[in-house]
Structure 1
Amino acid sequence: MSSSKKDDMIDKDLYEDLEPEEIKAILDEERRSKTKEKETPDQKKDPTFPRWVFGLIVFAVLLNGVAIFPRTFSIPAIDFLVTSHQLSQDETIQSHKESVVGVDTSEGRGTGFGISESGYVVTNYHVIEDETSVTVHYPEEGLFNGDIVKIKPEHDLALIKVDGDDLPYLPLAEHISDYSSPQSITFIGNPLNFTGIANQGKWIASSTATSLETDVMLLDAPVYRGNSGSPVINEEGQVIGVIYATRRDEEWGRVGLAIPVDHVHTLRESQ
């Protein structure tokens, strides 16, 4: 395992470079579909494959033409929407999503997650860089003003505090042991202007070849722009890492990168 520094691609798309027109078409169709759902609330919805996802596929085919039909179906955005819908049927995932927040800054939006009922939220440093305060959006509790109370640029982590009580939060694993074998993980975030998207993957390796002052976790997972700050959750429902970037690895290809939870504990304890 090399110890040389690598260029981590902060908040970049993984697996496939979607053209701006493709992203806009996907978002526009999803918004139209949600509007139709609100207009017909009494209609029964298919719990396994919602009509709006099928609409996305049809729309993409019409947009790009039948000649590239196979490529259209490989668009990861469609895959992660379908996967998120399926995962979100699980009550445990639904509960996890309540603790995952949007972090809005003057430059855009990232992801964060609550780590205490008193309103402490973790996100990436690069999400809130050059900001003194941000807007934090909880799925159920709504909007809060957030103060940045601690930063760790060397680990790309930041701690935000909002004024609130009994806020939802995710439990942190005490630490993560050295990598030994692939482990199934889930993660939740706000990629490509969507909110509360759940997805899954595997922790496949650890690496010292990073731009941060720490080893990082390599994830075989569909990480997208906006997933920065997403919690990596193990099968016991505990946070074991924080997504911050993607990279093309010499051995594994394109992977997501996550900061081990040990540094979240250090961030919290130093406050």
Structure 2
Amino acid sequence: MKKIGITLLTALVGGSVAIGGYKIFEKKQSDSMTFEEKQKVYYANNPASEMISSTGNPDFTEAAAAVMPGVVHIKVTVTTKGSQRGSSPFDMFEEFFGMPQQRRSQPRQQQGSGSGVIISPDGYIVTNNHVVADADKITVELTDRRTLEAKVIGRDPDFDLALIKVNADKLPFVRFGNSDNLRIGEWVLAVGYPLGLQSTVTAGIVSAKGRELGLLGDRQQRSPYEYPSDEPMVNTAIESFIQTDAVINRGNSGGALVNARGELVGINTAIMSPTGAYAGYGYAIPVSLVSKIMDDFKEFGVVQRGYVGIQYQPINEATRERLNVDDLYGLYVADVVKDGAAENAGIKKGDILTKIEGNTIYSSADLQERVARLRPGDKVKITYKRDGKEKDVTLTLKAQDTKKADEVSEESKRSATEIYNKLGASFVPATDKQKKDLGVNSGVVVTQVRRGGIFDYFGVEQGLVITHVNDKAVNNADEVESALGETKRNIVRVKGVSARGSVELNFPVEY
């Protein structure tokens, strides 16, 4: 009897050790999986019934019920510099571009909100970058009314995507679909938290794919790859939106666009509207791109971008006539980056890119969105036409070229000089005594303000000590000019101080 007891105890201990070891192995294996792999494993073990809607009488009840628990309300707190304002005809202008007069600034907190989509049961949530950018605090409200604090894992304005995480387990999540298989006219649902309302579902159809709107990214940064050569300053962002007439409003940003089977096909991002409210069209980032970017954030914290290494011109009626080509679609290669992926594969100036991975290239979005799914070192099949004959080549994508980046820097310097001249001001280094009296570590003194310049327009006075330009500390005129090269979205940010208090200015400039 004693032997039987010892044998049983040994078996129990051995089984516990085996189960514990398996759980540790299982967790490590799970941590190394992509989000798509995690979802496949989950649904392989927990098969769901197929959700089919009738095209004659659409029924989205099952799709909505499956998706709504996985779409969350995101609330953010952002600390900004505020000021006491009086009534002024320029109040609206000031609200967008800063404070034209020197006023004592005080920190203030602003609240914002958007939506997010849970993509794994261990608390990873995808949303838009513009929802969580610069947030001091992010809270996530689940459909069961739980509120959890979230941290940012990674975000990127060029894709307007962000990955955040809450400390929770066994959360409901939304299953990835295939945005490549979406068809024009297919029914879709938009799920989110618009206009401060609770979870809301709207329905519509896919009205277009591959839309480029020029909404994302920083138009003051010039990409060393994949940019139209007839545009000296272009957007580095990747845009290939799904267009839908499902109602999307403020607060829907970061929410889910799903098909009638309840599968995630896009992340709602923008609306086209003259009023700021829904006026017919909404836009979503396709999930085929979202899933790759989320894996990059989880593994690296930043997006891993591979580049083809070309300058191009989309073929349209104007370029056909100017370039004397007969092709109806494709991208005309205006130049290739030295030692870039395209040059190494034999692509030359004057070639026309017609397909990528067998898919016809009708616009730059067709190339950029496909390439954006890949990383440096990945291979991609490109079809190009030369002398009327098509040829297939396989490119190995490369990371950003540093030499080209140096050329971009020179372009920025020229732009900085232009902005500097438009300021209409002169500067001298602040003395050590001035810095000490004002309690600052850097600064230049405005010694002259010329009539007609930007400083004159915004009421900047002589004697103001400017400590930072575009968030860079400045101590002389050269540093002011250098910092102006970091101007983003045509908005110059200036911080200063005087005997009356601190000043923060944000004003627009044109090149």
Shorter chain as denominator, the TM-score bin is: 0.5 to 0.7
Tell whether 2:182 aligns with 1:176.
no
Counterpart Cα distance in 2 of 1:227 and 1:127: 10
| CA distance in 1 between partners of 2:169 and 2:143 (Å) | 15
Q: Identify the match of residue 102 of structure 1 among 73, 81, 102.
A: 73
1:219 matches 2:244: yes
The 1:210–1:245 alpha-carbon spacing in structure 2 relative to 1, beyond 3 Å, is same
The alignment partner of 1:102 has SS state of: strand
The aligned counterpart of 1:37 is none
> Are residues 1:255 and 2:281 paired?
yes
* Structure 2 residue aligned with 1:240: 265
Is 1:165 equivalent to 2:190 in the alignment? no
The alignment covers a number of residue pairs equal to 181
C-alpha displacement of 1:95: 3.1
- Displacement of 1:141 in angstroms is 5.9
Counterpart among 114, 124, 127 of residue 128 in structure 2: 124
The C-alpha deviation readout for 1:96-155, integer Å capped at 9, x for no partner, is 211110101013111111000000001111011102541011111611110010112111
Q: Does 1:191 align with 2:186?
A: no
Cα separation, 2, equivalents of 1:223 and 1:191: 7
Matches within 5 A, 1:8-157: 90-106=61-77, 107-140=111-144, 142-157=146-161
**Which ranges of structure 2 fall in alignment gaps of 5 or more residues?**
1-58, 78-110, 217-237, 299-511
Greater Cα radius of gyration, structure 1 or 2: 2
Q: Is the 8 A contact 1:204 1:220 kept in 2?
A: yes
Match of 1:201, SS? strand
SS in 2 for 1:150: strand
Root-mean-square deviation (Å): 2.2
Matches of 2:196 and 2:290, distance apart in 1: 25
Residues 213, 239 of structure 2: 8 Å contact kept: no
Matched, 1:269 2:272: no
Q: Secondary structure at the match of 1:236?
A: coil
The answer as to 2:231 corresponding to 1:228 is no
2:15 is matched with which residue?
none
Identity of aligned residues (%): 29
Q: 1:96 to 1:180 in 2, by over 3 A?
A: closer
- Post-superposition offset of 1:230: 1.2
Give SS of 1:112's match: strand
CA 254–91 in structure 1, closer or farther in 2 if over 3 Å, else same:
closer
Per-residue deviation, 1:211: 2.4
Shift in Å, 1:177: 1.7
Q: Counterparts of 1:111 and 1:242 in 2: how far apart (Å)?
A: 10
Tell me whether 1:201 sits opposite 2:204 in the alignment.
Answer: yes
CA distance in 2, matches of 1:179, 1:269: 22
Where has structure 1 moved over 6 Å in runs of 4 or more? none
Task: Please say if residues 233 and 240 of structure 1, whose CA atoms lie closer than 8 Å, have aligned partners that are also in contact.
Answer: yes
The residue identity in structure 2 corresponding to 1:262 is S
Point out where structure 1 has 5 or more consecutive residues left out of the alignment.
1-86
- Is this contact kept in 2: 1:120–1:159, CA < 8 A? yes
Structure 1 residue 94: Cα displacement: 2.5
Kept in 1, the 8 Å contact 2:72–2:140? The answer is yes
Q: SS where residue 154 of structure 1 aligns?
A: coil
In structure 1, the residue matched to 2:394 is none
Residues 35-85 of structure 1: per-residue CA shift (max 9 Å, x gap): xxxxxxxxxxxxxxxxxxxxxxxxxxxxxxxxxxxxxxxxxxxxxxxxxxx
Letter in 2 for 1:268: M
| CA distance in structure 2 between the aligned counterparts of 1:179 and 1:205, rounded to whole angstroms | 10
Match of 2:350? none
Change (3 A) 1:210 1:262: farther
TM-score, reference length from structure 1: 0.62
Once the two structures are TM-superposed, the CA of residue 187 in structure 1 deviates from its matched residue by 1.6
- Asked if structure 2 preserves the Cα contact closer than 8 Å seen for 1:135 and 1:145, the reply is yes
